[in-house]
Amino acid sequence: MAPAPGGGAGGGGEMFGWRTDFGKRFRKGRELGRGQFGITYLVTELATGNQYASKTIPKAKLTSRSAREDVENEVAIMRALRGHTNVVNLEDVYEDAADVHLVMEVCRGGELFDSIVARGHFSEADAAGLVRQMLDVVARCHLSGVIHRDLKPENFLFKDSARGSPIKATDFGLSCFFQTDAVFTEVVGSPYYVAPEVLRRKYGTACDIHSVGVIMYILLSGTPPFYGATEQQIFSAVLKGTIDLERGTWQKISESAKDLIRKMLLRDPKARLTASEALSHPWLSQRSGARGAAPNIPLDISVLNHLRRYAGYEKLKKVALQRVARLCSEVEVRSLKDQFLEIDTDRSGTISLNELVGAVKQMQTSASGTQVIPEDLVQGIMAEADADGDGQVDYLEFVAAAMPLGQLQRRDRARWRNMLNRIFDEMDSDKNGHVDMSELGTVLREWTGARMDEADIQEALQEVDQNGDGVIDRLEFFELFRTASSKRRDPPPPAASQGAPS
């Protein structure tokens, strides 16, 4: 069905300037579902006989400005996500004197919730397929600058009744667009699936990952991880964050599945996995059939944010991060490896400026189709990440620059301290408890392969030497990773996930 501009012929009663010929184009059929703000009907397009689902919202419920803005927001979000395999496609929007009509593709397989009730719980293979699709939706939402805020089994529909049918996300009524590092305070969502930080009224996109983690838990066990006889008891359980992965059904569930659930249900949202990181987890990636090749992981907007932050880091911090990258296990940086493979389109083992520009264009296109990160800024990011100055960013350089420091610090504080202590001990070659100009010069030259004159080394030392005694002690080195860079940085891009600053 071809879309048309708003304000078509007939009907009257325009409130939004959308098409007004719904009654001439469609015949309304049976009711498919009923929500808080509207009723969804099966409708048939008279000219073609094609059937759609139409969410009908009475204008009598849209008397306030905020209610009208909510409808406009839902339409804008669905248009931004249009074309994604696992999102119900919005075909067009109409209005008449009485109602607004959101005409969407029809899904005939029923709600995921009903399937859970009927089956009790799913096999790991079936659950993995469903969780992968949900995370792909979340990744696309966050990449488009959208936070969903109400992910639950009732809001996923099977496309049809065939076994293995894809699921489609629907109902974006509580979703909204966000700006980078935006903090939300409104408590929204459904009790069993709400994230603890939502209840604390300080949250961002990580709340969507928590909701998918709850759904995954239910898919595998048939019961919610946080339970109570009343809504308040459920909220208390969510805030406490204790989950049972040992008794009953969980005795038969793989440790890999449990590991993914734990990392999606972490109480600390800044330590929680992003959607792309979760998709790189072995429990999902080993079921993707993409071993040895680029695993088709959605590009993660947080990677670009980390690259931009890296561009403003002190010289020593950048060098130390390359050392951290060498010390990290493959598991810890698996998601970054997948992201690297996505950007390295010619499979050369390095990323060129053209490849990074292409990836950024794919990452940073706003819902209106406008590129919001200029190419010269991308070139600057590239130059900063290219530690050895060869015009290419290799895998180690990319990991160092794109590393999610906040996650590493929060997930395992003891390991993080041990890594920093080890790096400082390597720099302090005479073991006198501090790093002087000579030692710093050796580190900067040998660890990066770059040319460094005395003025460069002096500048690098002064960036870290807080008390001005001419050397870097252990506390000053640790402080380098506890605070944001002192150097000026460009403002972050407008759409981002929950990457934490260092």
Residues classed as catalytic: 150
Q: What is the dihedral of CA 81, 83, 84, 85, to 10 degrees?
A: 150
Of residues 410, 414, 464, the one with CA closest to residue 437: 464
Q: Which two tokens stand for residue 447?
A: 């660890």
Straight-line distance from the first to the last Cα atom of the chain, in angstroms, rounded to the nearest whole number: 48
Q: How far apart are CA 187 and CA 201, in angstroms?
A: 6
Smallest CA-to-CA distance from 262 within 248, 279, 241 is with 241
For residue 500, what is the DSSP state?
Answer: P
Question: Among residues 161, 290, 156, which one has the least CA distance to residue 216?
Answer: 156
Secondary structure element (H or E) that encloses residue 360, with its range: helix 353-363
- Residues 310, 399 contacting (CB under 8 angstroms): no
For residue 4, give the DSSP letter.
-
Cα-to-chain-centroid distance, residue 144: 10
Amino acid at 491: P
Q: How far apart are CA 27 and CA 336, in angstroms?
A: 50
Q: Which of 138, 29, 15 is nearest to 72 (CA)?
A: 15
CA–CA separation, 494 and 337 (whole Å): 25
Q: What's the length of the chain?
A: 502
The radius of gyration of the chain's CA atoms, rounded to the nearest angstrom, is: 25
The dihedral over CA atoms of 350, 353, 356, 362, expressed in degrees to the nearest 10, equals -140
Helices 353-363 and 334-343, packing angle to 10 deg = 110
Strand-pairing partners, residue 176, are 147
Q: Residue 399 in 3-state DSSP?
A: helix
d(CA 275, CA 499): 11
Structure tokens, 415 = 């390991």
Q: In this structure, are residues 106 and 397 in contact, taking their beta carbons and an 8 Å threshold?
A: no
**Distance (Å, rounded) from C-alpha 160 to C-alpha 140?**
22
- Distance in angstroms (rounded) separating the CA atoms of residues 356 and 132: 26
